[in-house]
Amino acid sequence: MTIQADARHQDQSWTTRGACVTMDPDCFFVQGAEQHAVKTTCLGCPVKTECLADALDNRIDFGVWGGMTERERRRLLRRHPEVGDWAAVLENYRRGQEEPGRGAEIA
For residues 73-96, one letter each, b for 16 or more C-beta atoms within 10 angstroms of the residue's C-beta and e for the rest, the string is: beebeeeeeeeeebeebbeebeee
Per-residue pLDDT tens digits of the chain, which is 107 residues long: 434 444 443 445 889 999 999 999 999 999 989 999 999 999 999 999 999 999 999 999 999 999 999 999 999 999 999 999 999 998 888 787 545 444 445 55
Domain definitions of the chain by residue range:
45-96
Exposure of 53 by Cβ count < 10 A (0-12 exposed, 13-18 middle, 19+ buried)? Answer: buried
Q: Are the CB atoms for 45 and 18 separated by under 8 Å?
A: yes
The closest of 43, 27, 46 to 35, measured between CA atoms, is: 27
